[in-house]
Amino acid sequence: QHKIDLALQKLEQLGNDITEQLSKYQSKIEVQIDKTLQHLKELEANLNTEVYDSQSGIKTQKAQTIQSLEKLETEAKTQLYDLQSDIQNRKDIILQNLDKLETTLAAQLSEVESDAQTEKDKILQQLAEISPTSIAEAALSEVLQNTQTLTEQLERLKSNHPKLFLNPDDYVNQGNTLFSQGQYQDAIASYDQVLDLQPNNPDIWYQRGMALWELQQYQDAIASYDKVIEIKPDDPDSWYQRGLALMELRRYEGAVVAFNKVVKFKPDHYKAWLNRGMTLRRLRRYEDAIASYDKALEIQPNYHQAWVDRGVALGMLQKHEEAFGSFDQAVQVQPDNTVAWLNRGMALDVLERYQEAVASFDKAIELNSDSHKAWNYRGSTLVKLEQNDQALESINRALEIQPEYAAGYYNKAIVYSSQGRVTLAVENLEQAIELNPRYREEASNDPDFEAISDDDRFWQLIGG
Protein backbone atom coordinates (compact mmCIF):
# COMPACT_ATOMS: atom_id res chain seq x y z
CA GLN A 1 0.00 0.00 0.00
CA HIS A 2 2.90 2.33 0.81
CA LYS A 3 4.46 1.73 -2.59
CA ILE A 4 1.16 2.52 -4.33
CA ASP A 5 0.90 5.75 -2.41
CA LEU A 6 4.47 6.73 -3.50
CA ALA A 7 3.66 5.98 -7.14
CA LEU A 8 0.52 8.07 -6.99
CA GLN A 9 2.52 10.89 -5.47
CA LYS A 10 5.05 10.74 -8.33
CA LEU A 11 2.25 10.71 -10.91
CA GLU A 12 0.68 13.72 -9.27
CA GLN A 13 4.07 15.52 -9.25
CA LEU A 14 4.57 14.75 -12.96
CA GLY A 15 1.14 16.19 -13.76
CA ASN A 16 2.02 19.32 -11.83
CA ASP A 17 5.36 19.66 -13.77
CA ILE A 18 3.61 19.29 -17.14
CA THR A 19 0.98 21.83 -16.17
CA GLU A 20 3.72 24.21 -15.11
CA GLN A 21 5.59 23.80 -18.48
CA LEU A 22 2.37 24.34 -20.45
CA SER A 23 1.77 27.48 -18.46
CA LYS A 24 5.27 28.73 -19.29
CA TYR A 25 4.84 28.03 -23.06
CA GLN A 26 1.47 29.73 -23.07
CA SER A 27 3.01 32.77 -21.31
CA LYS A 28 5.79 32.94 -23.91
CA ILE A 29 3.28 32.78 -26.80
CA GLU A 30 1.14 35.47 -25.19
CA VAL A 31 4.24 37.67 -24.74
CA GLN A 32 5.22 37.20 -28.37
CA ILE A 33 1.64 37.92 -29.51
CA ASP A 34 1.60 41.06 -27.36
CA LYS A 35 4.92 42.14 -28.88
CA THR A 36 3.62 41.51 -32.40
CA LEU A 37 0.44 43.46 -31.70
CA GLN A 38 2.53 46.27 -30.33
CA HIS A 39 4.67 46.15 -33.42
CA LEU A 40 1.55 46.29 -35.59
CA LYS A 41 0.35 49.31 -33.71
CA GLU A 42 3.70 50.96 -34.30
CA LEU A 43 3.49 50.09 -37.95
CA GLU A 44 -0.03 51.47 -38.14
CA ALA A 45 1.17 54.68 -36.51
CA ASN A 46 4.02 54.91 -38.97
CA LEU A 47 1.60 54.26 -41.78
CA ASN A 48 -0.67 57.00 -40.57
CA THR A 49 2.19 59.48 -40.55
CA GLU A 50 3.60 58.21 -43.79
CA VAL A 51 0.36 57.83 -45.68
CA TYR A 52 1.89 59.43 -48.60
CA ASP A 53 4.36 56.52 -48.88
CA SER A 54 3.76 54.11 -51.52
CA GLN A 55 0.98 51.61 -51.23
CA SER A 56 3.19 48.80 -52.26
CA GLY A 57 5.54 49.33 -49.27
CA ILE A 58 2.66 49.00 -46.88
CA LYS A 59 1.44 45.77 -48.43
CA THR A 60 4.93 44.39 -48.29
CA GLN A 61 5.22 45.14 -44.61
CA LYS A 62 1.78 43.66 -43.89
CA ALA A 63 2.60 40.52 -45.82
CA GLN A 64 5.79 40.11 -43.86
CA THR A 65 3.95 40.60 -40.61
CA ILE A 66 1.32 38.00 -41.45
CA GLN A 67 4.03 35.61 -42.52
CA SER A 68 5.77 36.13 -39.19
CA LEU A 69 2.55 35.46 -37.24
CA GLU A 70 1.83 32.29 -39.22
CA LYS A 71 5.33 31.08 -38.61
CA LEU A 72 5.01 31.83 -34.89
CA GLU A 73 1.65 29.99 -34.71
CA THR A 74 3.13 27.00 -36.51
CA GLU A 75 6.06 26.82 -34.10
CA ALA A 76 3.71 27.09 -31.08
CA LYS A 77 1.49 24.27 -32.40
CA THR A 78 4.53 22.12 -33.03
CA GLN A 79 5.83 22.68 -29.50
CA LEU A 80 2.40 21.98 -27.96
CA TYR A 81 2.06 18.72 -29.92
CA ASP A 82 5.50 17.63 -28.83
CA LEU A 83 4.63 18.43 -25.23
CA GLN A 84 1.35 16.43 -25.39
CA SER A 85 3.18 13.46 -26.89
CA ASP A 86 5.72 13.58 -24.08
CA ILE A 87 2.98 13.69 -21.45
CA GLN A 88 1.17 10.71 -23.00
CA ASN A 89 4.38 8.70 -23.06
CA ARG A 90 5.11 9.42 -19.41
CA LYS A 91 1.50 8.53 -18.44
CA ASP A 92 1.80 5.18 -20.21
CA ILE A 93 5.06 4.44 -18.39
CA ILE A 94 3.52 5.32 -15.00
CA LEU A 95 0.46 3.09 -15.65
CA GLN A 96 2.76 0.21 -16.57
CA ASN A 97 4.67 0.75 -13.34
CA LEU A 98 1.42 0.81 -11.34
CA ASP A 99 0.33 -2.50 -12.89
CA LYS A 100 3.64 -4.05 -11.90
CA LEU A 101 3.35 -2.59 -8.39
CA GLU A 102 -0.19 -3.94 -7.99
CA THR A 103 0.97 -7.39 -9.01
CA THR A 104 3.83 -7.21 -6.53
CA LEU A 105 1.58 -6.01 -3.69
CA ALA A 106 -0.97 -8.76 -4.39
CA ALA A 107 1.78 -11.33 -4.11
CA GLN A 108 3.03 -9.79 -0.88
CA LEU A 109 -0.51 -9.61 0.55
CA SER A 110 -1.08 -13.26 -0.24
CA GLU A 111 2.13 -14.09 1.55
CA VAL A 112 1.09 -12.01 4.61
CA GLU A 113 -2.30 -13.75 4.72
CA SER A 114 -0.60 -17.10 4.59
CA ASP A 115 1.72 -16.12 7.45
CA ALA A 116 -1.26 -14.79 9.49
CA GLN A 117 -3.18 -18.04 9.06
CA THR A 118 -0.14 -20.00 10.14
CA GLU A 119 0.23 -17.80 13.26
CA LYS A 120 -3.48 -18.14 14.00
CA ASP A 121 -3.24 -21.92 13.85
CA LYS A 122 -0.31 -21.83 16.28
CA ILE A 123 -2.25 -19.60 18.75
CA LEU A 124 -5.31 -21.86 18.59
CA GLN A 125 -3.11 -24.86 19.24
CA GLN A 126 -1.59 -23.12 22.29
CA LEU A 127 -5.05 -22.17 23.61
CA ALA A 128 -6.21 -25.76 23.19
CA GLU A 129 -3.31 -26.89 25.35
CA ILE A 130 -4.28 -24.46 28.16
CA SER A 131 -6.79 -26.02 30.65
CA PRO A 132 -9.97 -24.13 31.73
CA THR A 133 -8.84 -24.53 35.34
CA SER A 134 -5.62 -22.63 34.77
CA ILE A 135 -7.53 -19.87 32.95
CA ALA A 136 -10.05 -19.68 35.80
CA GLU A 137 -7.30 -19.62 38.42
CA ALA A 138 -5.51 -16.81 36.66
CA ALA A 139 -8.74 -14.82 36.24
CA LEU A 140 -9.84 -15.52 39.83
CA SER A 141 -6.53 -14.34 41.21
CA GLU A 142 -6.83 -11.08 39.33
CA VAL A 143 -10.49 -10.65 40.36
CA LEU A 144 -9.70 -11.30 44.02
CA GLN A 145 -6.89 -8.81 43.96
CA ASN A 146 -9.09 -6.18 42.34
CA THR A 147 -11.91 -6.96 44.77
CA GLN A 148 -9.62 -6.58 47.76
CA THR A 149 -8.41 -3.22 46.48
CA LEU A 150 -11.94 -2.04 45.81
CA THR A 151 -13.15 -3.25 49.22
CA GLU A 152 -10.42 -1.32 50.99
CA GLN A 153 -11.31 1.81 49.05
CA LEU A 154 -15.01 1.38 49.88
CA GLU A 155 -14.26 0.86 53.57
CA ARG A 156 -12.22 4.06 53.68
CA LEU A 157 -15.01 5.92 51.88
CA LYS A 158 -17.60 4.45 54.24
CA SER A 159 -15.52 5.46 57.25
CA ASN A 160 -15.04 9.02 56.02
CA HIS A 161 -18.53 9.52 54.55
CA PRO A 162 -20.93 7.08 56.22
CA LYS A 163 -24.05 8.88 55.00
CA LEU A 164 -23.19 7.93 51.42
CA PHE A 165 -23.93 4.33 52.33
CA LEU A 166 -27.23 4.88 54.18
CA ASN A 167 -30.13 2.91 52.69
CA PRO A 168 -33.55 3.76 54.14
CA ASP A 169 -35.02 0.38 53.18
CA ASP A 170 -32.25 -1.41 55.07
CA TYR A 171 -33.02 0.57 58.23
CA VAL A 172 -36.76 -0.05 57.82
CA ASN A 173 -36.24 -3.81 57.52
CA GLN A 174 -33.79 -3.76 60.43
CA GLY A 175 -36.23 -1.78 62.57
CA ASN A 176 -39.13 -4.11 61.77
CA THR A 177 -37.02 -7.16 62.58
CA LEU A 178 -35.95 -5.68 65.90
CA PHE A 179 -39.57 -4.76 66.63
CA SER A 180 -40.72 -8.33 65.99
CA GLN A 181 -37.98 -9.56 68.33
CA GLY A 182 -39.16 -7.24 71.11
CA GLN A 183 -36.04 -5.04 70.90
CA TYR A 184 -38.09 -1.87 70.80
CA GLN A 185 -35.41 0.64 71.77
CA ASP A 186 -33.10 -0.60 69.04
CA ALA A 187 -36.01 -0.58 66.61
CA ILE A 188 -36.62 3.09 67.42
CA ALA A 189 -32.95 3.85 66.70
CA SER A 190 -33.33 2.26 63.25
CA TYR A 191 -36.53 4.17 62.56
CA ASP A 192 -34.80 7.40 63.57
CA GLN A 193 -32.11 6.70 60.97
CA VAL A 194 -34.82 6.46 58.32
CA LEU A 195 -36.49 9.65 59.53
CA ASP A 196 -33.19 11.52 59.26
CA LEU A 197 -33.39 10.81 55.52
CA GLN A 198 -37.18 10.78 55.12
CA PRO A 199 -38.63 13.10 57.77
CA ASN A 200 -42.11 13.04 56.20
CA ASN A 201 -42.52 9.27 56.01
CA PRO A 202 -45.80 8.61 57.90
CA ASP A 203 -45.35 4.82 58.00
CA ILE A 204 -42.06 5.11 59.90
CA TRP A 205 -43.48 7.65 62.35
CA TYR A 206 -46.31 5.18 62.99
CA GLN A 207 -43.93 2.26 63.56
CA ARG A 208 -41.88 4.44 65.88
CA GLY A 209 -45.03 5.24 67.84
CA MET A 210 -45.86 1.54 68.11
CA ALA A 211 -42.39 0.77 69.50
CA LEU A 212 -42.78 3.55 72.07
CA TRP A 213 -46.21 2.16 72.94
CA GLU A 214 -44.67 -1.23 73.65
CA LEU A 215 -42.14 0.50 75.93
CA GLN A 216 -45.10 2.18 77.70
CA GLN A 217 -43.69 5.58 76.78
CA TYR A 218 -47.16 6.81 75.97
CA GLN A 219 -46.48 10.54 75.75
CA ASP A 220 -43.65 10.02 73.27
CA ALA A 221 -45.81 7.56 71.36
CA ILE A 222 -48.53 10.22 71.07
CA ALA A 223 -45.93 12.65 69.67
CA SER A 224 -45.10 10.14 66.92
CA TYR A 225 -48.77 9.51 66.13
CA ASP A 226 -49.31 13.28 65.99
CA LYS A 227 -46.55 13.47 63.38
CA VAL A 228 -48.41 10.93 61.26
CA ILE A 229 -51.65 12.88 61.68
CA GLU A 230 -49.85 16.07 60.68
CA ILE A 231 -48.89 14.38 57.40
CA LYS A 232 -52.09 12.29 57.00
CA PRO A 233 -54.90 13.95 59.00
CA ASP A 234 -57.42 11.25 58.09
CA ASP A 235 -55.31 8.23 59.09
CA PRO A 236 -57.63 6.12 61.33
CA ASP A 237 -54.88 3.85 62.67
CA SER A 238 -52.87 6.73 64.12
CA TRP A 239 -55.97 8.29 65.68
CA TYR A 240 -56.82 4.88 67.18
CA GLN A 241 -53.38 4.35 68.69
CA ARG A 242 -53.41 7.93 69.95
CA GLY A 243 -56.70 7.21 71.71
CA LEU A 244 -55.29 4.06 73.35
CA ALA A 245 -52.22 5.96 74.57
CA LEU A 246 -54.42 8.72 76.04
CA MET A 247 -56.47 6.04 77.84
CA GLU A 248 -53.29 4.71 79.42
CA LEU A 249 -52.51 8.26 80.58
CA ARG A 250 -56.11 8.52 81.92
CA ARG A 251 -56.77 11.47 79.64
CA TYR A 252 -60.20 10.16 78.83
CA GLU A 253 -61.72 13.24 77.23
CA GLY A 254 -58.87 13.40 74.71
CA ALA A 255 -59.21 9.67 74.11
CA VAL A 256 -62.91 10.06 73.27
CA VAL A 257 -62.00 12.78 70.74
CA ALA A 258 -59.44 10.46 69.13
CA PHE A 259 -61.89 7.54 68.90
CA ASN A 260 -64.52 9.89 67.46
CA LYS A 261 -62.04 10.70 64.69
CA VAL A 262 -61.47 7.00 64.03
CA VAL A 263 -65.16 6.14 63.60
CA LYS A 264 -65.61 9.25 61.47
CA PHE A 265 -62.94 8.15 59.00
CA LYS A 266 -63.68 4.43 59.37
CA PRO A 267 -67.22 3.83 60.68
CA ASP A 268 -66.82 0.03 60.75
CA HIS A 269 -63.81 0.11 63.09
CA TYR A 270 -65.45 -2.00 65.81
CA LYS A 271 -62.42 -1.88 68.10
CA ALA A 272 -62.60 1.91 68.10
CA TRP A 273 -66.29 1.70 69.06
CA LEU A 274 -65.35 -0.69 71.89
CA ASN A 275 -62.58 1.50 73.28
CA ARG A 276 -64.75 4.57 72.89
CA GLY A 277 -67.32 2.77 75.08
CA MET A 278 -64.67 1.81 77.65
CA THR A 279 -63.47 5.41 77.83
CA LEU A 280 -67.02 6.73 78.24
CA ARG A 281 -67.62 4.18 81.01
CA ARG A 282 -64.57 5.47 82.84
CA LEU A 283 -66.07 8.94 82.52
CA ARG A 284 -69.24 7.39 84.04
CA ARG A 285 -71.21 8.16 80.91
CA TYR A 286 -72.73 4.69 81.01
CA GLU A 287 -75.59 5.21 78.58
CA ASP A 288 -73.20 6.62 75.95
CA ALA A 289 -70.82 3.75 76.65
CA ILE A 290 -73.56 1.17 76.06
CA ALA A 291 -74.46 2.89 72.79
CA SER A 292 -70.83 2.51 71.67
CA TYR A 293 -70.77 -1.17 72.65
CA ASP A 294 -73.99 -1.70 70.73
CA LYS A 295 -72.39 -0.11 67.66
CA ALA A 296 -69.38 -2.43 67.97
CA LEU A 297 -71.71 -5.45 68.26
CA GLU A 298 -73.72 -4.27 65.27
CA ILE A 299 -70.52 -4.47 63.21
CA GLN A 300 -69.12 -7.58 64.94
CA PRO A 301 -71.90 -9.56 66.66
CA ASN A 302 -69.49 -12.12 68.13
CA TYR A 303 -67.19 -9.54 69.74
CA HIS A 304 -67.03 -11.08 73.23
CA GLN A 305 -65.13 -8.15 74.78
CA ALA A 306 -67.94 -5.79 73.77
CA TRP A 307 -70.49 -8.11 75.38
CA VAL A 308 -68.46 -8.20 78.60
CA ASP A 309 -67.95 -4.43 78.80
CA ARG A 310 -71.57 -3.81 77.90
CA GLY A 311 -72.56 -6.04 80.83
CA VAL A 312 -70.30 -4.08 83.19
CA ALA A 313 -71.86 -0.75 82.10
CA LEU A 314 -75.36 -2.18 82.57
CA GLY A 315 -74.37 -3.37 86.02
CA MET A 316 -73.25 0.17 86.90
CA LEU A 317 -76.75 1.32 85.94
CA GLN A 318 -78.19 -1.41 88.24
CA LYS A 319 -79.63 -3.16 85.20
CA HIS A 320 -78.48 -6.52 86.48
CA GLU A 321 -80.77 -8.72 84.42
CA GLU A 322 -79.58 -7.07 81.20
CA ALA A 323 -76.03 -7.24 82.48
CA PHE A 324 -76.38 -10.97 83.02
CA GLY A 325 -77.75 -11.28 79.47
CA SER A 326 -74.60 -9.59 78.09
CA PHE A 327 -72.26 -11.78 80.15
CA ASP A 328 -74.18 -14.88 79.16
CA GLN A 329 -73.88 -13.90 75.49
CA ALA A 330 -70.13 -13.39 76.01
CA VAL A 331 -69.59 -16.95 77.31
CA GLN A 332 -71.62 -18.34 74.41
CA VAL A 333 -69.40 -16.46 71.95
CA GLN A 334 -66.21 -17.43 73.75
CA PRO A 335 -66.76 -20.31 76.20
CA ASP A 336 -63.16 -20.31 77.38
CA ASN A 337 -63.17 -16.66 78.53
CA THR A 338 -62.46 -16.58 82.27
CA VAL A 339 -63.43 -12.91 82.72
CA ALA A 340 -66.82 -13.45 81.08
CA TRP A 341 -67.62 -16.37 83.40
CA LEU A 342 -66.46 -14.36 86.39
CA ASN A 343 -68.69 -11.39 85.52
CA ARG A 344 -71.58 -13.70 84.72
CA GLY A 345 -71.25 -15.17 88.24
CA MET A 346 -71.16 -11.70 89.81
CA ALA A 347 -74.34 -10.69 87.94
CA LEU A 348 -76.09 -13.87 89.13
CA ASP A 349 -74.92 -13.18 92.68
CA VAL A 350 -76.56 -9.73 92.59
CA LEU A 351 -79.73 -11.37 91.21
CA GLU A 352 -79.51 -13.73 94.22
CA ARG A 353 -79.19 -16.74 91.96
CA TYR A 354 -76.43 -18.07 94.15
CA GLN A 355 -76.19 -21.68 92.97
CA GLU A 356 -75.87 -20.54 89.35
CA ALA A 357 -73.35 -17.92 90.44
CA VAL A 358 -71.18 -20.56 92.13
CA ALA A 359 -71.39 -22.68 88.96
CA SER A 360 -70.12 -19.70 86.91
CA PHE A 361 -67.24 -19.12 89.36
CA ASP A 362 -66.39 -22.83 89.17
CA LYS A 363 -66.20 -22.52 85.37
CA ALA A 364 -63.91 -19.51 85.66
CA ILE A 365 -61.65 -21.44 88.07
CA GLU A 366 -61.67 -24.44 85.72
CA LEU A 367 -60.36 -22.18 82.98
CA ASN A 368 -57.89 -20.37 85.27
CA SER A 369 -57.16 -21.96 88.62
CA ASP A 370 -55.01 -18.96 89.59
CA SER A 371 -57.86 -16.46 89.31
CA HIS A 372 -57.87 -15.10 92.88
CA LYS A 373 -60.96 -13.01 92.12
CA ALA A 374 -62.92 -16.10 91.04
CA TRP A 375 -61.94 -17.91 94.26
CA ASN A 376 -62.85 -14.87 96.37
CA TYR A 377 -66.27 -14.26 94.76
CA ARG A 378 -67.03 -17.97 94.97
CA GLY A 379 -66.31 -17.80 98.72
CA SER A 380 -68.46 -14.69 99.11
CA THR A 381 -71.41 -16.38 97.40
CA LEU A 382 -70.98 -19.55 99.46
CA VAL A 383 -71.30 -17.38 102.59
CA LYS A 384 -74.74 -16.34 101.36
CA LEU A 385 -75.55 -20.01 100.93
CA GLU A 386 -74.40 -20.45 104.56
CA GLN A 387 -71.64 -22.81 103.44
CA ASN A 388 -69.03 -21.12 105.62
CA ASP A 389 -66.40 -23.85 105.66
CA GLN A 390 -66.37 -24.11 101.89
CA ALA A 391 -66.41 -20.30 101.73
CA LEU A 392 -63.27 -20.08 103.92
CA GLU A 393 -61.51 -22.65 101.75
CA SER A 394 -62.22 -20.59 98.62
CA ILE A 395 -61.17 -17.29 100.21
CA ASN A 396 -57.98 -18.80 101.65
CA ARG A 397 -57.16 -20.11 98.18
CA ALA A 398 -57.56 -16.57 96.84
CA LEU A 399 -55.17 -15.21 99.49
CA GLU A 400 -52.63 -17.93 98.75
CA ILE A 401 -52.59 -16.72 95.16
CA GLN A 402 -52.67 -13.01 96.05
CA PRO A 403 -51.56 -12.38 99.69
CA GLU A 404 -52.10 -8.62 99.40
CA TYR A 405 -55.73 -8.97 98.30
CA ALA A 406 -57.81 -6.70 100.57
CA ALA A 407 -61.17 -8.03 99.38
CA GLY A 408 -60.16 -11.54 100.44
CA TYR A 409 -59.45 -10.44 104.01
CA TYR A 410 -62.72 -8.49 104.11
CA ASN A 411 -64.78 -11.51 103.00
CA LYS A 412 -62.89 -13.72 105.42
CA ALA A 413 -63.81 -11.27 108.23
CA ILE A 414 -67.47 -11.59 107.19
CA VAL A 415 -67.29 -15.39 107.47
CA TYR A 416 -65.79 -15.17 110.98
CA SER A 417 -68.37 -12.54 111.95
CA SER A 418 -71.22 -14.85 110.89
CA GLN A 419 -69.65 -17.53 113.12
CA GLY A 420 -69.34 -15.10 116.03
CA ARG A 421 -65.56 -15.42 116.08
CA VAL A 422 -64.86 -11.80 116.96
CA THR A 423 -61.09 -11.91 117.28
CA LEU A 424 -60.55 -13.53 113.88
CA ALA A 425 -63.15 -11.25 112.30
CA VAL A 426 -61.49 -8.10 113.67
CA GLU A 427 -57.99 -9.29 112.73
CA ASN A 428 -58.98 -9.97 109.11
CA LEU A 429 -60.97 -6.75 108.87
CA GLU A 430 -57.98 -4.85 110.19
CA GLN A 431 -55.80 -6.45 107.52
CA ALA A 432 -58.31 -5.46 104.83
CA ILE A 433 -58.43 -1.84 106.05
CA GLU A 434 -54.65 -1.68 106.16
CA LEU A 435 -54.46 -2.76 102.49
CA ASN A 436 -57.45 -0.61 101.41
CA PRO A 437 -58.74 2.08 103.82
CA ARG A 438 -62.12 2.30 102.06
CA TYR A 439 -63.15 -0.90 103.86
CA ARG A 440 -63.29 1.02 107.15
CA GLU A 441 -66.35 2.99 106.04
CA GLU A 442 -67.84 0.04 104.18
CA ALA A 443 -67.67 -2.17 107.29
CA SER A 444 -69.45 0.44 109.40
CA ASN A 445 -72.55 0.10 107.20
CA ASP A 446 -72.28 -3.59 106.30
CA PRO A 447 -75.06 -5.74 107.89
CA ASP A 448 -72.79 -8.78 107.59
CA PHE A 449 -70.92 -7.46 110.67
CA GLU A 450 -74.08 -7.13 112.76
CA ALA A 451 -73.14 -10.20 114.79
CA ILE A 452 -70.04 -8.43 116.20
CA SER A 453 -71.30 -4.87 116.10
CA ASP A 454 -71.62 -4.77 119.89
CA ASP A 455 -67.97 -5.62 120.41
CA ASP A 456 -65.71 -2.68 121.37
CA ARG A 457 -62.84 -4.05 119.32
CA PHE A 458 -64.95 -3.77 116.20
CA TRP A 459 -65.95 -0.17 116.91
CA GLN A 460 -62.42 0.82 117.87
CA LEU A 461 -61.26 -0.52 114.51
CA ILE A 462 -63.84 1.11 112.30
CA GLY A 463 -63.83 4.29 114.38
CA GLY A 464 -60.18 4.80 113.57
Q: Is 75 helix (H, G, I), strand (E, B) or coil?
A: helix
- Residue 59 belongs to a domain: yes
pLDDT value of position 315? 96
Query: Which residues touch 273 (CB under 8 Å, ≥6 apart)?
Result: 259, 263, 292, 293, 295, 296, 299, 306
Q: Is residue 335 part of a domain?
A: no
Q: Calculate ∠ Cα 395-399-404, nearest 5°.
A: 135
Nearest to 243 by CA among 226, 268, 266: 226
What pLDDT is attached to residue 130?
58
What pLDDT shows up at residue 94? 53
DSSP label at residue 369: T
Contact in structure between 354 and 385 (CB atoms under 8 Å): yes
Low-confidence ranges of the chain (pLDDT < 70): 1, 3-4, 7, 15, 18-19, 22, 25-26, 29, 33, 36, 40, 43-63, 65, 69, 72-73, 76, 78, 80-116, 119-120, 123-124, 126-144, 146-147, 150-151, 154, 157-166, 464
**Residue 54 confidence (pLDDT):** 47
Count Cβ atoms below 10 Å from residue 326 Cβ, excluding itself.
Answer: 26
Largest CA distance in the chain: 196
pLDDT of residue 42: 74
Instruction: Confirm whether 8 is domain-assigned.
Output: yes
Counted domains in the chain: 1
Neighbouring residues of 245: CB distance < 8 A, sequence distance ≥ 6: 213, 218, 219, 221, 222, 225
Phi/psi for 420 (5° steps) reads 75, 20
329 within a domain of the structure (yes/no): no
**Residue 113 domain flag:** yes
pLDDT at position 155: 72
**pLDDT, position 200:** 94
DSSP H helical ranges for 130-235: 132-160, 168-180, 184-197, 202-214, 218-231
How many Cα atoms occupy the beta-carbon half-sphere of 23 within 13 Å?
A: 6
Cβ contact 407:395 at 8 Å:
no
Residue 254 contacts residue 222 (beta carbons within 8 Å): no
Asked whether residue 26 is domain-assigned, the answer is yes
What pLDDT is recorded for position 311?
97
For 402: left if phi > 0, alpha if psi spans -120 to 50, otherwise beta; the answer is: beta
- DSSP states along 278-295: HHHHHTT-HHHHHHHHHH
pLDDT at 109: 53
Answer whether residue 16 is part of any domain: yes
**Within 10 A of 95 (CB to CB), how many other CB atoms are there?**
12
With respect to residue 172, please indicate whether it lies within any of the assigned structural domains: no
Owning domain of residue 79 = 2-129
**376 neighbors 395 (Cβ within 8 angstroms):** yes
